[in-house]
Amino acid sequence: MRSMSQRATTATASAVADHVAPPPPAPGAEQYPALDFANSLLTLPSGPLDLLGGPEAASGWLVEHGLAPEAGRVLGPCTVRLRVFRGAVRELLDARVAGRPAPPGALAAVNEALTAAPAVALLRWDAEQGLHRSLPHPADRIADRAMARLAADAADLLTGPDAERLARCGGAPCSRFYVRTHAARHWCSTRCGDRVRAARAYARKRAEKACGEGEPT
């Protein structure tokens, strides 16, 4: 698996080609690939950016996160399945952050992914290789294996100690999730925090100017 910095560089290079600059990975994304998966749908000031927008982009994302072999590729139908599954993961994260019951449909989607394909290689034996480990499904099950691993990771995040620190970025229009590094943190990145502070400062100056113009001479 490539490091988070390498993945961020790849994503940035791709976005620059599209004249869009994505934010850096959210806190917690290094530890939880499912969090980075949920955040692969971005809402930027310049507009939406889907890092799973097509088969090529989705295949690249899976490879970069160690969820597919280097030459692995997913086709259109599997790309759609990945995006639908991402929506279910986002629903569960959103419900956990808001303190709402987990949506039954999202729960069913994650549980289905958990059982659709083994998340680990099984121990096997044959005369040629002897004891070895391998995944039981062929290469055309790349999406199933990836979703199984992401589902297991999402379940660990949602039921583990870091679930209490899950938050949603407060820097509109950003909709990313992150794991708080401290209680006072309200944004997923410095960029979002700077944007919020700049907007507040601008609004304050406008209000002060309006008040000054409204005073009698």
CA distances in angstroms from 147 to 109, 170, 213, listed in the order given: 10, 28, 59
Q: Which two tokens stand for residue 139?
A: 């290469």
Coil, helix or strand at residue 182: coil
Q: Does residue 82 contact residue 116 with C-beta atoms inside 8 Å?
A: no
What pLDDT does residue 119 have?
A: 58
- Cα–Cα distance for residue pair 48/18, rounded to 1 Å: 12
pTM above 0.85, yes or no: no
Q: What interhelical angle do 104-116 and 142-159 show, nearest 10?
A: 130
What pLDDT does residue 125 have?
A: 93
CA distances in angstroms from 160 to 67, 87, 92, 143, listed in the order given: 22, 21, 14, 25
Distance of CA 106 to the CA centre of its chain: 16
Q: Which two tokens stand for residue 176?
A: 């990313």
CATH of 4-214, one of 1.10.3300.10, 2.40.50.100, 3.20.20.70, 3.40.50.720: 1.10.3300.10
| Residue carrying structure tokens 């700049």 | 198
Tens digits of residue pLDDT in 13-24: 444 344 466 788
Tens digits of residue pLDDT in 185-208: 778 877 786 665 655 554 566 665
Q: Does residue 154 contact residue 92 with C-beta atoms inside 8 Å?
A: yes
Residues in the chain with pLDDT < 70? 1-21, 118-120, 135-140, 193-217
Q: Does residue 107 contact residue 92 with C-beta atoms inside 8 Å?
A: yes
Q: Which two tokens stand for residue 195?
A: 């944007």
Tell me the backbone φ, ψ of residue 108, rounded to 5 degrees.
-65, -40
What pLDDT does residue 82 have?
A: 98
- Cα–Cα distance for residue pair 207/81, rounded to 1 Å: 48
Q: What interhelical angle do 104-116 and 76-98 show, nearest 10?
A: 130
